Structure 1
Amino acid sequence: MLQRLRVLLPALWAGLLLCIATLATPAVFAVAPEAAGRIVGRIFAQEAVVSMALALLLTAIERKLAPERQLGVWLALGALFCTVAGYYALQPMMAAARLGQGSLSFGQLHAISLGFFALKGVLVLVLAWRAAAPGRGLRPSSS
């Protein structure tokens, strides 16, 4: 069961991140530009919670299934760091920047946040790629 989750969860997570980046966010800005910031903010709030849960779950699975190989753990923890820094640390700073407070502009903070999201996407894609690699993924059943 854990081996199946080890293969499935990173792929689903990568799909979620790619869907948000390539479909959901651009569609919101195209259809509802006046409310896009609030809607996209809500999407990213939900994504941050899901990403934290998946990162912690995959860290535990990787530690259980491959204690001698820690790259999967570091990839999941890196994605967790990107979530915490890119969403939870930067969102309050972005809100303050909208009010003219802080040393960085909203645009600069947004660019940093985008960088963290992109890095998280790369880390999760590598995690998914590794989990699906021959010899690491699901083994064929003997029946």
Structure 2
Amino acid sequence: MTALDRWRRLLPALWAGWLLCVAGLATPAPFATLVQTDAGRVVARMLAQEAGSALFFGGVLLLLARVAARRGGGPQFSVDMGLALGAIVCTVAGYYAVQPMMVAARAGQGALSFGQLHAVSAAFYLVKLGLVLALAWRASRAPVSPPASS
């Protein structure tokens, strides 16, 4: 197994763990211990960091899949690339597009309420989590061995 293969197996698992940690531990904790406005600021900062890291993980995984396709002569666009691209799209839509609208909704602007936009953002996050978990699941499979020659 090459270093490229190892990274292609490790990164999706790290990314999935990071997403689960943010969703399950890091974002609920401030709301359990701080006043709502302070908790909101802490969570907003965490989600900003998560969005940046998602773009990094997704970009690196796309690059690794592309290099693997060139080396192995496989398809130029794989299922793994589609999963990584889907997660990137969810990040861009769910954080970089919806988050500014949430700020406007808090100020009483826009057609949707803060709660509605929060639900949209959470849905994008859940879809991204599902895509990354699928990517990690696929990466955990044993490599296909070439047939033995006799």
TM over 0.5: yes
The code of the aligned residue for 2:50 comes to E
**1:100 match: secondary structure:** coil
Amino acid of the residue matched to residue 10 of structure 2?
A: L
Matches of 2:68 and 2:135, distance apart in 1 = 14
Aligned to 2:17: 15
1:114 corresponds to which letter in structure 2?
A: A
Residue 111 of structure 1 corresponds to: 119
Residue 24 of structure 1 corresponds to 26
Q: Which residues in structure 2 correspond to 1:91-130 (within 5 Å)?
A: 91-130=99-138
Q: Percent identity?
A: 56
* TM-score calculated relative to the size of structure 1: 0.91
The alignment status of 1:37 with 2:40, answered yes or no, reads yes
- Structure 2: which amino acid aligns with 1:59? L
Give deviations 1:8-41, integer Å, cap 9, x for gaps.
Answer: 1000000000001111111111011331110000
2:52 matches 1:49: yes
| Counterpart position of 2:67 | 64
Q: Which runs of 4+ in 1 moved over 2 A?
A: none
Alignment correspondent of 1:140: none
Bigger relative CO (Cα 8 Å, ≥ 6 apart) = 1
Letter in 2 for 1:3: D
Specify every segment of 5 or more residues in structure 1 that has no aligned partner in the other structure, as ranges: 137-143
Give distance in 1, aligned partners of 2:66 and 2:83.
12
For the residues of structure 1 that align with 2:35 and 2:129, how far apart are their CA atoms? Answer: 25
Q: Read off the aligned partner of 1:11 and give its amino acid letter.
A: A
Matched length = 136
**Matches of 2:85 and 2:40, distance apart in 1:** 28
Which letter does structure 2 place at the counterpart of 1:46?
Answer: Q
Q: Secondary structure at the match of 2:27?
A: helix
2-structure distance, mates of 1:10, 1:29: 28
TM-score in terms of structure 2 length: 0.87
In angstroms, what is the RMSD of aligned CA positions? 1.1
